[in-house]
Structure 1
Amino acid sequence: MAEGGIGCTDTEIGSVPRHSSLYSRHSQNYVESVSVEICTIMTRLGYGEEMRRWRVATYRECDRLRNAHLSNRSAIKSIGTLITAGSKGEGLTCSLESDLDYLFLLKNVICLEAGINLYSKPDDLNVYRMDTHVYPGHCRLLLERHTSSCLKIIHNALCYNGNGDVLLSSSLLLDEFSSLLAHTGVRKIVHHKCVGPSSPISVDGILHTDNVLGLRCLCPSVLHRWADRPRHWPSPVIVQNVVALGAILTPVGFKGSEFKHMEWRINFNRGEAELVSNLNDTQAKVYVILKMIIKDIIKPKNKEITSYILKNIVLWQAERNPQTRFSAYSLLHWLHDGLRELRTAIAKKHMPYYMIPERNLMEAGGINNRLHRKWVADITDMLEEGPGVILRLEKIRKAIVGSPEPMLWYSKKRMELEMLNLEIKKRVAQCGYENDFVNSINFRIEEVVIEVRQRMIQEGCSVNDLKYINDAMLM
């Protein structure tokens, strides 16, 4: 994306940027007052900065406890390290609002870009060399050192290319990983069709998880190119943190490649999680609202437009603009700006990946001409609609229509319920379900849900199912 392409403003008044189209039918004071009100509502819905950071810390602690105490209880956990990823790991969704995303980093494997001396790495590591002469942001993996610690699922995914080289096949390893997931544990697991690098499963028909296998990767040249870009954000300290977290390879090739079954995608999951956790309150809320717009209004059926594209839009906004411009007063401006960038990305079928701009996130995205025209027109209508587009989002609309006092009461109960459920998750990771503290938390959860049911009955609602109320509050 060219300099100044994203986040450009027509005029600015004080520290709040302006787009003429946003203010053509509404005064600046009106737009700013609505922005502040929406920010407040988003906080009450559980998207405030304090709640976001609490979720991030809790999920990280759950991961630490699981990896420390459960490594010998499950075949899948014995092969590597589990990390909560996606919107849960970023603290941007409630407990049942979306599926859980897990990243499994395989142990005893390292992938190196050209120029890194493999003999500088411990002898017990299986080493693969990255061949990046493929589509930007992707690579092939050539075996350079094989050890006795090679995992069975890795060994089964090795193949020859006919020229004396041994390559690691992304599609074969994904099949091996999916098979391992399907036969793990004693509970009923339903394995679903793989989507990209993800192996989705349902546990007991209730818990839905997207599971992605990853290989540790050292590609300092890619990270240094990102780090050396001129920017307003993030700070130099955060930039160095992201560089230190390194990269991960996931088993998915470029969709348009003839050899995609042998290709891997370069990702920066942990670095991007660090970046998202350092977005300010307004930036994070813009990201969440953009995701609501995709879910409630655009409604892509085959993930032609993903939340990942929206994340990249917000990261570009943050990098290219002074942080002082992102405040509660400017939320609608940046939402409007994000929609314009999404419309441009769809129209041109081009969205540069934030970490590797040469990679086009819209390439081979599957948007046909009919959807292309429809979505461009839909977003144009939303831009013309201005602040009113917010009312088309069910969750926010209900919060606006609801009376302030009941909404505030409900918000407190919902946040307490989410905290209690995540505390159980943490305690179970530490010592299992048979625990007095877990039982006491469950007792308090029941008390909270009963309180909510009583209030609902007083206000004329006939719902009595406690589980239904609990689940609905956490969605």
Structure 2
Amino acid sequence: MTRLGYSEEMRRWRVEKHREKNRLHNARPRDETYITAGSKAEGLTCPLESDFDLLIVLNGVICVDAGINLHTIPDDIDVFRMDTRVYPGHCILLQDRPAHKRWKVIRNSLCDGGYGAILLSSSLFLDECSASTPYPNIVNHERAGLSRPGTLGGVLHVNSVLALRCHCPGIFHRLTARPRHWPSAVIVLKVMSFGDYLTPVGFKGSEHEHMEWRICFNAGETELVNNLNGTHAQVYVMLKMILKDVLRHCKKEITSYVIKNIVLWQAESNPQDEFNARIFFRWLHDGLRELKTAIVTKQLSYYMIPERNLMAASGLQDKQQH
């Protein structure tokens, strides 16, 4: 794995370069904040080895959980209240305090929720986003789920997702209270500092799917992966390689995100000093065993919000499970 470019030093170097790129880009006055996500942010792929995943967060908008005092939020911020009484890890957004100046994509995605409530539709938001271009000189392709694929310069494949910043401290408080071997309290606090986001996608099959938003922690999860030790990071890479090459017939149903969550649970449940090169294959087999269990049982808890089942709407058929 080291000779293939997955050494600890190379991974750290890639991570720092992408962080620096984000810092330089976001230092300029902009209406959006760009966050490199996925394997690029984790330092686990070369520049053209895989697609470039990008989270584009709209500035000037925040979504808050119940109990948050609006007086602590500046008046020029567009505020939506999160109703989390839907499938775990999702919410519905109700307009709480509109800003004097707001995004066109926000204005065009509002709809009447009845009884005087104004809701922000994830489906309308996604349609509005599809018409915009995240980069100049990018060639857009057909939308894939909530992602807007495109090609930059004819060689770099970019998957961009527009998102809203949100604040739901209860999720982080439950994370800090969990008994665990990893990560340390210092790392958990750093993960919390990155905050959370909402992406325009509801729970598949839900009655209100077109209105629901999914809570995600892209930057925080990247920080967690970046704090895996070298051996455990290589286990993660190998599991993704197996998924890509051996399980490619069901790659739409079993994504690398499933692998990431298996690895994070594996790290939390075991002492870090047990992840060493001498027993690399033990942890690889353990990860494969957990993946098989997730496929057969259609059950895998989301690391950040354990109540959310990542396999609940995977679409796996019986023949794929066996």
What range is the shorter-chain TM-score in? over 0.9
Kindly state the Cα deviation for residue 205 of structure 1 after the two structures are TM-superposed. 3.8
Report the equivalent of 2:73: 121
**Contact residue 140 and residue 148 of structure 2 kept, 8 A:** no
Report the equivalent of 1:457: none
Query: What aligned pairs does 1:30-429 form with structure 2 within 5 A after superposition?
Result: 42-69=1-28, 71=29, 78-181=30-133, 185=136, 187=137, 189-195=139-145, 197-301=146-250, 303-373=252-322
RMSD of equivalent CA atoms:
1.3
Tell me the secondary structure at the aligned position of residue 351 of structure 1: coil
Q: What is the aligned-residue identity percentage?
A: 59
**Contact residue 108 and residue 149 of structure 1 kept, 8 A:** no
Kindly state the Cα deviation for residue 93 of structure 1 after the two structures are TM-superposed. 0.9
Q: In structure 2, what is the Cα distance between the partners aligned to 1:234 and 1:300? A: 34
Structure 1 length normalisation: TM-score?
0.66
Letter paired with 2:53: D
Kindly state the Cα deviation for residue 162 of structure 1 after the two structures are TM-superposed. 2.2
- Identify the structure with the greater helix proportion: 1
Q: In structure 1, what is the Cα distance between the partners aligned to 2:111 and 2:71? A: 24
Q: In structure 1, what is the Cα distance between the partners aligned to 2:151 and 2:120? A: 28
Q: In structure 1, what is the Cα distance between the partners aligned to 2:95 and 2:299? A: 34
**Contact residue 352 and residue 360 of structure 1 kept, 8 A:** yes
Kindly state the Cα deviation for residue 175 of structure 1 after the two structures are TM-superposed. 1.5
Q: In structure 1, what is the Cα distance between the partners aligned to 2:182 and 2:152? A: 40
Unaligned runs of 5+ in 2: none
Tell me the secondary structure at the aligned position of residue 338 of structure 1: helix
Q: In structure 2, what is the Cα distance between the partners aligned to 1:364 and 1:159? A: 27
Q: In structure 1, what is the Cα distance between the partners aligned to 2:127 and 2:175? A: 33
Q: In structure 2, what is the Cα distance between the partners aligned to 1:203 and 1:252? A: 25
Higher relative contact order (CA 8 A, sep 6+): 1
- Identify the structure with the greater strand proportion: 2
> Which structure would you say has the larger Rg?
1
Q: In structure 2, what is the Cα distance between the partners aligned to 1:122 and 1:171? A: 28
What do residues 140-195 of structure 1 show as CA deviations (whole Å, max 9, x unaligned)?
0000011122111111111111221111111111121121127x62x251222232
Tell me the secondary structure at the aligned position of residue 189 of structure 1: strand
- Number of residue pairs aligned between Structure 1 and Structure 2: 322
What do residues 95-115 of structure 1 show as CA deviations (whole Å, max 9, x unaligned)?
111100001011001111011
Q: In structure 2, what is the Cα distance between the partners aligned to 1:236 and 1:333? A: 27
Structure 2 length normalisation: TM-score?
0.97
Letter paired with 2:51: D
Kindly state the Cα deviation for residue 302 of structure 1 after the two structures are TM-superposed. 5.4
**Contact residue 82 and residue 92 of structure 2 kept, 8 A:** yes
